[in-house]
Every structure is written in C-alpha cells, then in structure tokens.
Structure 1
Amino acid sequence: MRIFPFKRKEIFSEEEKNRLVQAIRVAERLTSGEIRLFVESHCSYVNPMDRAKEAFLSLGMEKTKQRNGVLVYVAIKDRQFAILGDQGIHDKVGDDFWIKAAELLRSHFQRTHIVEGIEECIGEIGSSLRTFFPHEADDDVNQLPDDIVFGR
C-alpha cells in the first residue's frame, strides 16, 4: 500500500487500480445503480463537494435511468473527499447513509488505508444500491463505465 504523497501519474499502482475497478464491478453486479470513482491530486475548490458536483455533471451521471448514480470523489494530496448520490438514491437512503459512508472513508484515510477505504466505501454503496435498486433482468445495462476517472 502507498502512503502520501503521490506523483500525479502514480496515484495508484496498476494492482490498486485493478482492485478499485473490480470493487466497482462487484458493487454494481446486482443493482441497476452506477458508481464512479473520480480521483485527482488536488481539489481546486474550498469545498470538495462543489468539485464532486462539477465532476458528477461532467461525467453525465445525472442521466441514469433511475437517477441512482453515486460518485466517490477523492483529492489525494489534499486529503479531501466527497460522496455524491443522485436524487433517486438519496431519496431512498437519506442523509444518515452519506454521513456513515463519509465516516467510513475518513477512518480509513486517517490510517492511510486509502485503497482499502475506497474499496469498503464502494462496497457499502453497492449494498444500498442493491437494496433499493435491484438488478432488472434483461433491461439492465451498465449505463456508465466502471473505470477510474483521473482529474487534474
């Protein structure tokens, strides 16, 4: 596992990237929901949630059929993050879910368990998505890519 600081191109090793993409795929396997991971070195906004909202829209995440996309945004060097769920999922899970997910991520980050924290957070998000937005047999397609998006 790597510890801060990271070079921009080397935020995660290939193995770590593969683990995170696999976590997204597993989390989405039994749900119609969509999870994206957006990672960059620095957050150019005072509030990382503002950057997450910008990234959410730029990735077209508000266009999912059931408005059930979730973005996990991480600014590695700034040690900031935000978790943003679209209206469909937010209406189902409420504020408490996002607070608990943020606490989970924060606890891992404080111990510099970055990849493990993101993996576990994605797993929790996937579990909620499966509960409220189960896989829809033949009609369910992966609406958004599972790859990690690297920002500035």
Structure 2
Amino acid sequence: MRIFPFKRKEIFSETEKERLVQAIRVAERLTSGEIRLFVESHCSYVNPIDRAKEAFDSLDMGKTKLRNGVLVYVAIKDRQFAILGDQGIHEKVGDDFWVKEADLMISHFQDNRIIDGIEACIEEIGASLRTYFPHEAGNDENQLPDDIVFGR
C-alpha cells in the first residue's frame, strides 16, 4: 500500500479509491445522511478542524435537508485528520461519538492502516446515521456525490 506518495493523484491507488467510495455508498444506504471524504497531502492550517470546516462549506455540506452531513478530512503527509458533523447529526450523537471515531482512526493510522481506518470510521458514521436518520421511502435522494474529493 502506498501511503505517502509524492504526487496528488497517487495518494490512493484505484483499488483503494474504489474501496473507500464503496464504503461511503454502503454507509449511506438506508439513511438520509451524507458522508464526504476529503483528502489532501498537506493541511494548510495549524488545526485540521479549521481546514475541515473550510472544505465542509466549500462542498455545501451544510445544505442537506436534515443537516446530517459528515465530512471525514485527512491530510496524508501531515498525518492529520478531522471529522466534522453538521448540526443535525451532532445533536444526536454528541461529542463522545466524534472522540470515539477519532480514536478509531488513530488506532488504525498508528499501524499505517490508513485505508482501513478511514473505512472503519465511515462504517461507524453510517451506522449512526442509519440509527438517527433512517431511510424514508420517497424522500431519500442522494444529496451529495459519493466520490472522494482531493484537495491541494
């Protein structure tokens, strides 16, 4: 697995990209919630949560009907990440959930299992979204793309 490549296009292999996009699709199945993955080599901010907020806004994630979008932000070379949930999901899961998800990613990242960590986090976010924002027949369109967004 290539974890710290030099070119942006090589951050993840095609197989890894497909695996993560599939994880997003499966996680969003049976929920009205939305998950986005934003990946870049370096974080241009001291605190990655500030960059995550900027990405969250630029991707219009705050415009979901139920305010239940979640952004997973990862700066690969800097070994930084942030998980940002919109108001609707945050009110349901609270701070402890995000801390638990961060710990999950850290445990995988420490073992250089970056893809596994992102995938596990996406799966758990999806489970929470299904619990608090279950699929509603006739009212559950995919509001945001399921692709991976690559930053700078």
| Pairwise TM-score range, normalised by the shorter structure | over 0.9
Matched, 1:70 2:70: yes
The aligned residue for residue 15 of structure 2 is 15
Quick one: distance in 2 between partners of 1:14 and 1:6? 16
Unaligned runs of 5+ in 1: none
Worse-superposed segment, 128-137 or 3-12: 3-12
Deviation at 1:6, TM superposition (A): 4.5
How far off is 1:9 after superposition?
Answer: 1.4
User: For structure 2, which runs of at least 5 residues remain unmatched after alignment?
Assistant: none
Q: Deviations over 1:99-141 (max 9, x none)?
A: 0000000111111100011000000000000000000111110
Identity, % of aligned positions: 84
Q: For residues 5-24 of structure 1, give each alpha carbon's deviation from its aligned partner in whole angstroms, at most 9, with x where no partner exists.
A: 44321000000000000000
- What is residue 145 of structure 2 aligned with on the other side? 145
The alignment's TM-score, normalised by the length of structure 2, stands at 0.98
How many pairs are equivalent? 152
Query: How far apart in 1 are the matches of 2:61 and 2:72?
Result: 12
1:2 alignment counterpart: 2
TM-score by length of 1: 0.98
Contact 1:6 1:77 in 2 (8 A): no
User: Residue 47 of structure 1: CA displacement?
Assistant: 0.1
**Higher alpha-carbon deviation: 101-110 or 1-10:** 1-10
User: Any conservation in 1 of the 2:43–2:51 contact (CA below 8 Å)?
Assistant: yes
Q: Distance in 2 between matches of 1:21 and 1:5?
A: 20
Alignment of 1:1-152 (within 5 A): 1-152=1-152
